[in-house]
Structure 1
Amino acid sequence: MDIKEIQNLIKFVAKSGASEVKLEMEDIKITIKTGSEKTETTIVQAVPMQGIPQMAAPIAVAPVASEIAVAASSEADDAKYITIKSPIIGTFYRKPSPDKPNFAEVGTEVSVGDTVCVIEAMKLFNEIESEISGKIVKVLVDDSSPVEFDQPLFLVDPS
């Protein structure tokens, strides 16, 4: 069972109105709970297979209370920054080609119109330009990762 199948299962359970679903297969055990406080919680635990080394045991797919508190405090710190968001769906690349340097690093000063990344959509590479001037303080997406429309890519300090 891959991650897409698990995500589809979560969506199906959320739409069905069931409060809890447990699924146990040979190599995987999944519990999905929906409730008033948490919309969905998924815990995936892979059973080690013989002959295949296992890299990580349990994987939690939903935030826990402590992670929510950390996210709330980091959001307060990030409020003074401006976000550069993805204008399209595609694959995010930080450099124009594998042998070239990144367009923008943490600490890089950008001006309006400077290219900060490339997003590939349907075999077309779209240069994403900064709409603000300032210093990049955080890169929010890993190189070669898929991005959604309006997903935050960079945090910029305009001062």
Structure 2
Amino acid sequence: MDLKEIQNLIKFVANSGVAEVKLEMDDVKITIRTTLEGNVSEATYVQMPAQPAILPTAIPQQISPAPAVAPIVENTNYITIKSPMIGTFYRKPSPDKPLFVEVGSTVAKGNVLCVIEAMKLFNEIESEVSGKIVKILVDDMSPVEYDQPLFLVDPS
């Protein structure tokens, strides 16, 4: 990740209203904390060693719902649909409307599964595959991170 990308990430986080963002890649760990006014109060950039010996066990898991992870491992035929952005997850288009999908719903590629609000914009998240919704991994109106699993779909 180059300096320009890091600067753009800091600007995005400052404008998003999120209090803290942690991003880990193979060789980089970035933490950005903001104040209530949206100003960046702290940005930490750490270059990771080539082969971390203790690091994977030393990092606490922020979002690790153990029961939700177990079914993913049991059946590898399921396709995981992940969040393409940071924001707030909504299962329906508005409070008075029905849910987009429920467990057991059949979806086609391109069907809207949920909405993620980011910076006061509501982004429709469409299904990447056709199949049946097996599990919804996030509660309605919950914050989600980039690349966080949202749905399990059985493509068969």
Bin for the TM-score computed over the shorter chain: 0.5 to 0.7
Residue 68 of structure 2 contacts residue 137 of structure 2 at CA under 8 Å; is this kept in 1?
A: no
Counterpart Cα distance in 2 of 1:73 and 1:95: 26
Letter in 2 for 1:117: C
Once the two structures are TM-superposed, the CA of residue 91 in structure 1 deviates from its matched residue by: 0.4
Once the two structures are TM-superposed, the CA of residue 87 in structure 1 deviates from its matched residue by: 0.9
Cα separation, partners in 2 of 1:101 and 1:149, compared to 1, 3 Å: same
Cα separation, partners in 2 of 1:144 and 1:73, compared to 1, 3 Å: closer
Counterpart Cα distance in 1 of 2:63 and 2:83: 24
Cα separation, partners in 2 of 1:94 and 1:71, compared to 1, 3 Å: closer
2:115 corresponds to 1:118: yes
Letter in 1 for 2:120: K
Once the two structures are TM-superposed, the CA of residue 78 in structure 1 deviates from its matched residue by: 3.6
2:131 corresponds to 1:134: yes
Residues 73-126 of structure 1, C-alpha deviation per residue, up to 9 Å, x if partnerless?
534214210011111111000000001111010000000110000000111001
Q: Give me the CA root mean square deviation.
A: 3.1
Cα separation, partners in 2 of 1:74 and 1:125, compared to 1, 3 Å: same
Once the two structures are TM-superposed, the CA of residue 37 in structure 1 deviates from its matched residue by: 8.2
- Figure out how many residues of one structure are paired with residues of the other and give that number: 108
Residues 126-146 of structure 1, C-alpha deviation per residue, up to 9 Å, x if partnerless?
111101000000000010011
2:93 corresponds to 1:96: yes
Counterpart Cα distance in 1 of 2:138 and 2:63: 19
Counterpart Cα distance in 1 of 2:151 and 2:63: 23
SS of equivalent to 2:73: helix
SS of equivalent to 2:71: helix
> Deviation above 4 Å: which 4+ runs of structure 1?
70-73
TM-score, scaled relative to structure 2 = 0.58
Counterpart Cα distance in 1 of 2:114 and 2:123: 9
Computing the radius of gyration from Cα coordinates, the structure with the larger value is: 1
Which ranges in structure 2 are unaligned for 5 or more consecutive residues? Answer: 1-18, 23-30, 32-45, 47-53
Which ranges in structure 1 are unaligned for 5 or more consecutive residues? Answer: 9-14, 16-34, 43-60
2:138 corresponds to 1:146: no
SS of equivalent to 1:106: coil
Aligned to 2:41: none
SS of equivalent to 2:58: coil
